[in-house]
Amino acid sequence: MRRGGGEPFQVQGCVRFSRTHAAVQCSPNALTRARQLGDMRIMTQIAEVLPDLAPFESFALKVADLTLSRGDLRLVEGLNLSLSSGDAVFLMGANGTGKTTFLHALAGLVRPDQGQIMLGDTPLDLDASEWIGWLGHVDGLKPNETVRETLRFWAGLQGERKPPIMPVLKALDIGHLIDRPTGRLSRGQQRRVAFARVAVANRPLWLLDEPAGPLDQRGRDRLAELVAWHRARGGIVIAATHQILDWPGAETLELTR
């Protein structure tokens, strides 16, 4: 794998959003450390704080000798990958090289021909839904439901009594759309609501398939901020993409036939 998107911000718990943003996003613990150390790089560059949710417990994702096929076509063979809390990976490669199939395998939707996918010492296919926030090509929105109704449902799956719906929407620049039916949103707005859906579901492992497809530059910046926030809390993000996304410190895994 190669490192892309520039160097990560060199303070544990803080991630710079993008080369186009001077601001950084830090976890609450990192902010405390920064204040104690008098680190003005952070204290003068704090962006509007996203929801102050508890950090995830530290975890590791390990893929060992993974082989995947579609019918008789071998897509991935002998793939190994090791990630820990705060990591992000771009899956890249030509159409048909197995990016989406690999995401499906990580989500427990496809059974590998061989190999293992482990979260710590536990196979990921055991109760994977408790770990995974999924965003595929389809946004997972009901056109007659409002944004508020949609996000309340997804937050409720996690048992959140007071889900941070409005802070997440404001961070994505769509707070004013909270009571609009999702079927009346533009394609880019729907994609932002889909990011909010993943965020309020509060799962540590995000699997994203072409997440930035319908977004303009501002939307891609907001996505980078949301990903930085998730990583600062100890989450992991794996994204299949054909686009160059500015996520500092992210690795790139190129799939080929």
Does a structural domain hold residue 29? yes
Does a structural domain hold residue 30? yes
pLDDT tens for 66-94 read 999 988 899 999 999 999 999 999 999 99
Does a structural domain hold residue 231? yes
Q: How many CB atoms lie within 10 A of CB 176?
A: 10
Amino acid 122: pLDDT = 84
Does a structural domain hold residue 207? yes
Which tokens hold the place of 192? 């932002």
State the Cα–Cα distance between residues 135 and 140, nearest whole angstrom. Answer: 8
Question: Which residues neighbour 225 within 8 Å (Cβ) at sequence distance 6 or greater?
Answer: 17, 21, 25, 47, 50, 171
Q: How many structural domains are present in the chain? A: 1
Catalogue the E-assigned strands of the chain. Answer: 2-3, 14-18, 21-26, 60-70, 73-84, 88-92, 114-119, 122-123, 132-135, 205-209, 236-240, 251-254
Does a structural domain hold residue 248? yes
Nearest Cα to Cα of residue 208 among 191, 232, 221, 190: 191
pLDDT tens for 100-114 read 999 999 998 889 999
- Boundaries of domain holding 45: 2-57+81-104+121-131+203-254
Higher pLDDT, 128 or 35: 128
Kind plus residue range of the DSSP H or E element containing 52: none
Q: Rounded to whole angstroms, what are the CA distances from 121 to 59, 118, 124, 175?
A: 10, 6, 9, 40
62 has pLDDT over 50: yes
Dihedral, CA of residue 69, residue 1, residue 65 and residue 109, to nearest 10: -50
Does a structural domain hold residue 237? yes
58 has pLDDT over 70: yes
Does a structural domain hold residue 22? yes
pLDDT tens for 150-198 read 999 998 876 667 788 999 999 999 999 999 999 999 999 999 999 999 9
Does a structural domain hold residue 171? no
pLDDT tens for 6-18 read 333 344 445 444 4
Nearest Cα to Cα of residue 226 among 214, 240, 243, 212: 212
